[in-house]
């Protein structure tokens, strides 16, 4: 029974990291969240990847855009609060210059994460993304997460614009 | 204290244009940082920002990390740096050896009409040293800038040169439209950065450009 469960329910953060590796992501830029803590350490240990710990999400966005300008595939890893603080850079840099940026954001303040101080952020996250005209998806818990990360990255590239994948705890917390 | 003999941005830019090699990548912040540089020394290796205040430095940091074999110079304003002071902390932590920061310290928000900054007289060189930058200097003349930028481009950085500058409140008309996507495409082609090949053509990944 245990074996069957493991086969049908793989460790999703490992799968996510495998997907980043498979995509050729060389740089992750992050402002951390408790759900992201361990996977960021794993990324730091990856021979093919490096991690920049930024001080603010808008700054992180610019670092990731700069890396892509230089030809490196990069990913932005933040909490959804960062999607609220990132606005000016999103509009005037990432969208205006059409950077195909993959953004992986922990989706705090949802039904599964009903922590009082996260709930206000969860309430406005999707309306804010819609306001920016940003394409995004909420990760489907029934589907492998690696495949969804690859699809999100591909969508960003093919649309020449950022794409946000909102992640549940089991998707990202190691 | 206002030093009336501060050089203008144009004076510094003319010196910079003299000292740069063609291979050096230059990122310029919004306003005259971009417009004037486009007039004085346009090159495909320039990446011009219009708006995106405070993001020239972190963008250049990402670029320097991605292109470790190329020298990268970023021109940021003191207002922009104050807006994202944290980027200087990240720069000190990552410390790319190929990045030189030129900080136009004019004490005002020049691009929006010259409103005074929250603090117009910060010692940015001292701040840079505190944050772990290998080299950080305050500059207030074209002659000292010439000596310092030549040295900065030859040595291992990162370097921060804070340039005391007379405000220029009139927008310099660039010689052409700084089309953002066109600027980006021209830049990435000039440096030979890998490009995305669409899935429709069997790609789905970044590939080296064909020359």
Cβ–Cβ of B55/A93 closer than 8 Å? yes
Cis peptide before B209 (omega within 30 of 0): no
Q: Which CATH code fits A17-107+118-172?
A: 3.40.50.970
- According to the model, what pLDDT value does residue A7 have? 52
Reduce the DSSP state of residue A122 to 3 states and report it.
Answer: helix
pLDDT at position B14 over 70: yes
- According to the model, what pLDDT value does residue B209 have? 80
| H-assigned helices in A9-144 | 12-23, 37-45, 57-69, 81-85, 87-89, 119-132
Which residues does residue B136 pair with via DSSP β-bridges, in sequence order?
B160
How far from A43 is each of A16, A75, A150, B31, CA to CA, in Å?
11, 11, 17, 37
B62 CA to chain A: closest CA distance, Å?
4
Cβ–Cβ of A50/B65 closer than 8 Å? yes
Of B61-65, B101-105, B111-115, B177-181, least confident by mean pLDDT is B111-115
Residues 122-141 of A with CB under 8 A from B: none
Percentage of residues in chain B with pLDDT exceeding 90? 88
How far from B132 is each of B89, B95, B136, B139, CA to CA, in Å?
8, 8, 9, 19
Cβ–Cβ of B52/A59 closer than 8 Å? no
Cβ–Cβ of A53/B93 closer than 8 Å? yes
Report the alpha-carbon distance of residue B128 to residue B139 in Å, rounded: 14
Cβ–Cβ of B61/A97 closer than 8 Å? no
Q: How far is CA B207 from the centre of its chain?
A: 28
- According to the model, what pLDDT value does residue B211 have? 56
Render pLDDT for B104-131 as a digit per residue (tens, 0 to 9): 999 999 888 899 999 999 999 999 999 9
Residue whose entry in the numeric block shows the structure tokens 């402002």: A31
Render pLDDT for B26-35 as a digit per residue (tens, 0 to 9): 999 999 999 9
* N-terminal to C-terminal alpha carbon distance within chain B: 54
- According to the model, what pLDDT value does residue A8 have? 59
CA dihedral B44, B48, B54, B58 (to 10 degrees): -20
Domains of chain B, earliest start first: 9-178 (3.40.50.970)
Q: Is the separation of the CB atoms in B146 and B171 below 8 Å?
A: no
Report the alpha-carbon distance of residue B132 to residue B141 in Å, rounded: 25
- According to the model, what pLDDT value does residue A91 have? 97
The model carries a pTM of: 0.95
Q: How many residue contacts between A and B have a Cβ separation below 8 Å?
A: 127
Report the alpha-carbon distance of residue A163 to residue A136 in Å, rounded: 5
**Mean pLDDT for the stretch of residues B14-39:** 96
B73 contact partners, CB below 8 Å, separation of at least 6: B16, B20, B24, B25, B26, B27, B60, B99, B100, B101, B102, B153
Average pLDDT of the residues of chain B: 94
Q: Is A66 part of the contact surface with chain B (CB cutoff 8 Å)?
A: yes
CA dihedral B2, B7, B13, B14 (to 10 degrees): 180
| Domain ranges within chain A, ordered by starting residue | 17-107+118-172
Q: Which residues of A touch B62 (CB under 8 A)?
A: 27, 29, 52, 62-70, 74
A116 contact partners, CB below 8 Å, separation of at least 6: none
Q: Which residues of B touch A74 (CB under 8 A)?
A: 62
Please give the average pLDDT of every successive group of 10 residues along chain A, which has 174 residues.
56 97 96 97 97 98 98 97 97 98 98 94 98 97 97 97 98 96
Nearest CA in chain A to B181: A97
Q: Is A34 part of the contact surface with chain B (CB cutoff 8 Å)?
A: no
A137 CA to chain B: closest CA distance, Å?
20
Reduce the DSSP state of residue A63 to 3 states and report it.
Answer: helix
- According to the model, what pLDDT value does residue A1 have? 43
Closest by alpha carbon to B36, among B147, B174, B165? B174
């Amino acid at each position: 029974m245990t074996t069957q469960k493991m086969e049908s329910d793989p460790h999703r953060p490992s799968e996510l990291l495998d997907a980043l590796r498979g995509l050729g992501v060389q740089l992750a830029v992050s402002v951390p969240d408790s759900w992201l803590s361990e996977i960021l350490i794993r990324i730091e240990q990856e021979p093919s990847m490096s991690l920049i710990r930024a001080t603010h999400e808008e700054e992180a966005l610019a670092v990731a855009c700069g890396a892509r300008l230089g030809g490196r595939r990069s990913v932005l890893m933040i909490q959804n609060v960062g999607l609220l603080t990132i606005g000016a850079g999103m509009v005037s840099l990432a969208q205006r210059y059409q950077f195909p940026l993959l953004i992986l954001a922990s989706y705090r303040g949802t039904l599964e994460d009903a922590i009082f101080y996260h709930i206000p952020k969860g309430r406005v996250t999707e309306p804010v993304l819609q306001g920016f005209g940003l394409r995004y998806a909420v990760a489907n818990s029934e589907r492998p997460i690696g495949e969804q990360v690859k699809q999100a990255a591909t969508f960003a590239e093919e649309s020449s614009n950022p794409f946000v994948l909102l992640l549940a705890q089991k998707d990202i917390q190691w | 204290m206002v030093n009336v003999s501060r050089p203008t941005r144009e004076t510094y830019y003319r010196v910079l244009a003299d000292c740069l090699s063609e291979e050096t990548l230059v990122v310029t912040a919004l306003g005259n940082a971009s417009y004037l540089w486009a007039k004085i020394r346009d090159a495909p290796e320039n990446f011009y920002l219009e708006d995106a205040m405070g993001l020239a430095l972190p963008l250049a940091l990402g670029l320097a990390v991605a292109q470790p074999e190329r020298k990268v110079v970023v021109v940021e304003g003191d207002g922009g740096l104050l807006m994202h002071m944290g980027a200087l902390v990240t720069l000190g932590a990552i410390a790319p050896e190929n990045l030189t920061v030129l900080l136009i310290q004019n004490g005002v928000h020049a691009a929006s009409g010259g409103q005074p900054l929250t603090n117009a007289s910060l010692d940015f060189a001292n701040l840079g040293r505190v944050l772990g930058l290998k080299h950080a200097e305050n500059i207030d003349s074209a002659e000292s800038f010439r000596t310092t930028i030549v040295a900065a481009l030859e040595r291992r950085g990162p370097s921060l040169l804070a340039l005391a500058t007379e405000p220029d409140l009139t927008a310099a008309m660039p010689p052409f439209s700084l089309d953002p996507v066109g600027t980006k495409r021209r830049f990435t082609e000039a440096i030979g950065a890998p490009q995305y090949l669409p899935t429709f053509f069997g790609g789905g990944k970044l590939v080296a450009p064909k020359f």
